[in-house]
Structure 1
Amino acid sequence: MLIFDSIHEITELHREVGIVLGTFDGLHIGHKTLIETHVAACKRLGVKSVVFTYSNHPRELTNPELKSLRLIAVEEKILRIEELGVDYLVLIEFDETLMSTEAERFVGKYLIDGMDVRLISVGFDFKFGRRAAGNPALLQKLSKQYGYELLVLEPVEIEGEKVSSSAIRKHLRHGEIKEAQRLLGRPYAVSGIIKKGKQLGRQLGYPTANFMISSQMTLIKPGVYVSETEYQGVRYHSLTNVGYNPTFNQHELSIETYILDFNKEIYGEMLTVFLVDRLRDEAHFNSVQELVEVIDADVAKAKRFYFDHRPL
């Protein structure tokens, strides 16, 4: 998959293409279905498949008071799209220029100009252009002018719930990790560079890998989660605390992961943590001994969970 950070770069290829448009935050089952359907349609038409998306979330600009919107880091977004067999990825920043571009001009300038576009694919609720005036109906109207085929994916539902990024955010904020996983089609993952903290876990007998959550990422309800941690391409069973460590009066939200049967020094390296199941809420304990006893019980529960459900 070739990646472009400017629409002008891809126009220089002079190829017949099909373009699928979307924010694709989370790359959930609905997004995956849309991109897979688009790739298959491009193969049917004998053209190259293009994903046109953003490196940030448009609502970070249109509604700056909203925070913690992103469900997926850019690096994972690229990986997930590549796995779907896409030929080209146009990954650009949603900025003031794009936000103020009229919808019809957006199609002409960013999609049609310089490219031989045979297919445009979108989700049923896709909006674009100034004041989000562009929609599938406008794309259908313009298809007659520009001569492309339009593919619109209808809502995808799982067990009666419509798959959407907003529904996944709601589940994560309520600690409903299994419900979020059902709509994502995979465990929810967070990644970060391991930093050297106060080493409180080590003092308690449970050394943890610690990293802060980006302020741009969706907030997860604080608590203790059964997890899997990926390090250098290998997954390990783990137990993860998302929260503020109230027993030690921590004020910043962080993730601490205790990797079972693991004793490597990994400060400064990248980890990805997949949240698999929720054990309990975060709690304040009156003594370190009381905290250790609860952690002992949490680790035992995690080991039992993996013995029963998820052997690696």
Structure 2
Amino acid sequence: MNIIKENTQLNSEKTRGVALGNFDGIHIGHQMLLNTLVDKSNIRKLESCVYTFDNHPLSIINNTTPIQITNFDIKNKIFESLSIDTVIYEKFDKKTMNQKPQEFAEEVLVKRLNAKLVVVGFDFRFGFQGEGDVNLLRELSKQYNFTLYVIEPIKIEGEKVSSSIIKKYIGEGKMKKAKRFLGRYFSLEGAVIRGESRGRQLGFPTANISIEKRQILPKEGVYATYVSIEENTYLGATSIGKNPTFSANNVSVETFILDYSGNLYDKKIGIAFVESIREQIRFDNVEDLKNQLRIDVKNVKKYLHSS
């Protein structure tokens, strides 16, 4: 899969099928859209291309940066698993913000991307102040001679699948529900960093990972997880929180990896969240904490071996 950053010159001879959107989480609705892109592009022998932004539009529109479900690396792995040929990450700036819908269609879709088909979600908006919608895009598709596919919403138990509802479930620690909407376990990836080594002193050495500031985290607590290290997968007990027993101030993501020994510092690992097993608890003494950690490990084994 090709990954292209802002303003890179594209081969103007190449014809493309293009998916437009933010694609945070790449949930089951996004997957339907992307599968449509790949299928239709393959039939017409077009390059399947995702056109998205490197930065969130709101960072320019109102100087806010929303939290994200998937970081850059995870996003690209999922795009590649869906057989996307090329992902273009354009920079959203003031020029983009002020671009009229028709100008976007002509300058980006037609001249830059040479799009012969375009796939969007039902609620897609584009152009200055979101003036463009799927109805306008349908009219523009006739004018500029590209085929438009609009993907209708997916509902699960009456709830529309969206990045917003998934963020809500993750924030509430409802990992099973998040998985149903994502189509996979919610995951984090990061390099293992040095912590306070308290886990090692307790006999439960943990891998602490670095997390981007805008990355959403499940609510504080302990979770049954699968841990990916290179090509291998292990069971894990992952704690998210401020370590109340030790009065820590910063939220950390620490994982005790079952049946693993080795130095992980600076290595990248993946953590897939399966289910919450308990809330964060402040213990009066270290022995009570150690006893609870033993119980946590038993519960992780019991839960993951039965799931």
Q: TM-score, normalised to structure 2's length?
A: 0.95
Q: Contact between 1:14 and 1:115, CA under 8 Å: does it hold in 2?
A: no
Amino acid at match of 2:234: Y
Task: Give the aligned residue type for 1:238.
Answer: G
How far has the Cα of 1:163 moved from its partner? 0.9
- In the comparison of the two structures, how many residue pairs are matched? 307
Q: Which whole-Å CA distance do the structure 2 matches of 1:214 and 1:152 have between them?
A: 33
Query: What is residue 39 of structure 2 aligned with on the other side?
Result: 40
Matched with 1:51 is 50
Partner residue, 2:85? 87
- In 2, are the aligned partners of 1:7 and 1:110 still within 8 Å (CA)? no
Which amino acid in 2 is paired with 1:187?
Y
Judge conservation of contact 2:56–2:65 (CA < 8 Å) in 1.
Answer: no
Give the counterpart letter for 1:86 in structure 2.
I
Q: Cα deviation per residue 1:192-229 (whole Å; 9 max; x = unaligned)? A: 11111110000111000012432111232111000011
Give the alignment of 1:243-254 within 5 angstroms.
243-254=241-252
Moved more, 102-111 or 90-99: 90-99
Name structure 1 gaps, 5 residues minimum.
none
SS in 1 for 2:30: helix
Residues 257-276 of structure 1: pairs in structure 2 closer than 5 A: 257-276=255-274
Q: C-alpha distance in 2, partners of 1:278/1:101?
A: 45
Cα shift readout 1:126-179 (whole Å, capped 9, x = no counterpart): 112221222111111111210111100000122332111000000011111111
Cα distance, 1:8 vs structure 2: 4.8
Contact 1:212 1:253 survives alignment (8 Å): no
Alpha-carbon separation, structure 2, partners of 1:273 and 1:116: 39
Structure 2: 5+ residue stretches without partners: none
Q: Secondary structure at the match of 2:9?
A: helix
Distance 2:6 2:18 in 1: 14
Query: TM-score, with normalisation over the residues of structure 1?
Result: 0.94
1:3 is matched with 3
Between 1:175-184 and 1:131-140, the stretch displaced more is: 131-140
- The amino acid of 1:265's aligned partner reads N
After TM superposition, the structure 1 = structure 2 runs for residues 1-312 of structure 1, keeping only pairs within 5 Å, are 1-6=1-6, 8-10=8-10, 12-65=11-64, 67=66, 69-309=67-307
Aligned mates of 1:54, 1:115 — CA distance in 2:
15
SS in 2 for 1:128: coil
CA contact (8 A) 2:74 2:189 kept: no
Change in 2 beyond 3 A, CA 1:247/1:114: closer
CA distance in 1: counterparts of 2:115 and 2:194, whole angstroms? 50
CA RMSD of aligned residues (A): 1.5
**In structure 2, C-alpha distance between the alignment counterparts of 1:61 and 1:176, rounded to whole Å:** 32
CA displacement at 1:190 relative to structure 2:
0.6
Q: Name the aligned partner's letter for residue 188 of structure 2.
A: V
Deviation at 1:117, TM superposition (A): 2.0
Moved more, 299-308 or 1-10: 1-10
| Change beyond 3 A, Cα 1:122–1:177 | same
Change (3 A) 1:7 1:45: farther
User: Any conservation in 2 of the 1:195–1:267 contact (CA below 8 Å)?
Assistant: yes
Q: Secondary structure at the match of 1:9?
A: coil
Note the C-alpha offset of 1:100: 2.2
Distance apart, 1:307 and its partner CA? 2.3
Aligned to 1:51, what secondary structure does the other structure show? strand
Report percent identity of matched pairs.
Answer: 35
Query: Does structure 2 retain, via aligned residues, the 8 Å contact 1:208–1:259?
Result: yes
> Is the contact between residue 3 and residue 86 of structure 2 (CA under 8 Å) also seen in structure 1?
yes
Verify the 8 A CA contact 1:229 1:274 in the aligned structure 2: yes
